[in-house]
Amino acid sequence: MKLHLLPLLALLAAPAFAQPAPAPDYRKPESWLCRPDAKDPCSGDASTSRVTADATVTLDMLPASKKPKIDCFYVYPTVSTDPTPNSDMTADPAETFVAQAQAAPFRQACRVFAPLYRQVTLATLRDRMMGKPVTADPAMGLRDVSAAFADYMKHDNKGRGVILIGHSQGSGVLKAFIQTEIEGKPVAKQIIAAYLAGHNLLVPQGADVGGDLKSTPLCRSATQTGCVVAWVSFRDTMPVPPASLFGRPPTSAPAGMAVACTNPAALSGGRAPLRPLMVNRTGIVDNGTPAPKWAKGRNIYTPFVALPGLLSGECMNRENANVLSVGINADPADPRTDTINGDVMVGGQVVPGWGLHLIDMQVAMEDLVDLAKAQGQSWLRQRGK
């Protein structure tokens, strides 16, 4: 069984620890997966092939901003292949690959910082799903990320605005970080926005603020700052099953709560075209399924593939779940692919309760990058910078 990116903070009960392990030393360069002053997965090849409906292919190098005035702080999802309950502080290929897929495109908008952290591993996920006892410390990741952010603020920030970016377990860690280290504190004024993909962020039904985050509202425009964008993705063509991990509040949630959904391509609501950056290989934010043939007669070798006009999305209540409903505008008559990968697979079968969890970020990556640029500019204007 091979599963990626479980929102483990929601599934694991924290065992009692007499003495929490100390946080890593984030003064050491090797404690970081990405920093703007290093050659790392966030500064590597992000070239993109743009494939239009008629199979015309153009190359875009996605160049980094020369002098970005804002920063991004990225916390990666559950990908560690370490056999231990919590991961170590050495990046394995999965951690490197996911940073390239999810964080590298943001270098067009910001300096990217991504700490390594001792996350709950895939091995623990497998044990938990098989009913075995687990000994992972789910709070360790929060302690590490908090220490990394404190180091960043002390040595690197220098008054700059910051966008917090996470997916799955990374989003859960960042949600807890905002609750404990951001809201109600002076640093909150420097948080441009938080992008919390693939995680159930709770808000009161029909409201934009309250619930999990007490003072941080949902983003409703590209000029709004100090807000959060959150969503979980499902195909239009697949129902959200009753046992889905995403889109519905847990039974332990207070009455009247709903899972937040903000469409990165249309924050104010409604259906809009999505601008994906799909990963052109097996093994990056994927479950072993090969990338589709993007267009007949075209061999694509770049790390990313953009597919203008192929996808659209809308935040919808489906089967009593709030999800980003993703549609494929397929045309069997044209040479471009009519499908995308991104489902969780076990034994060759789709696990419907996960939706498009593996590509929550990829389906709207260029929308997110442009949103980061717009919100960053708005934050800078507000401060006369």
Residue-wise pLDDT tens digits, 200-257 = 999 999 999 999 999 999 999 999 999 999 999 999 999 999 989 899 999 999 999 9
Residue-wise pLDDT tens digits, 110-163 = 999 999 999 999 888 888 877 888 899 989 999 999 999 999 999 999 999 999
**269 pLDDT exceeds 60?**
yes
pLDDT score for 290: 75
Q: What is the CA radius of gyration of the chain?
A: 20
Contacts for 146-150: CB closer than 8 Å, 24+ residues apart: 146/23, 146/177, 146/180, 146/181, 147/23, 147/24, 147/26, 148/23, 148/24, 148/26, 148/31, 148/32, 148/113, 148/115, 148/117, 149/73, 149/115, 149/177, 149/181, 150/26
Average pLDDT, the chain: 92
pLDDT score for 130: 79
The Cα 95–Cα 201 span in angstroms is 24
**17 pLDDT exceeds 50?**
no
Q: How many residues does the chain have?
A: 385
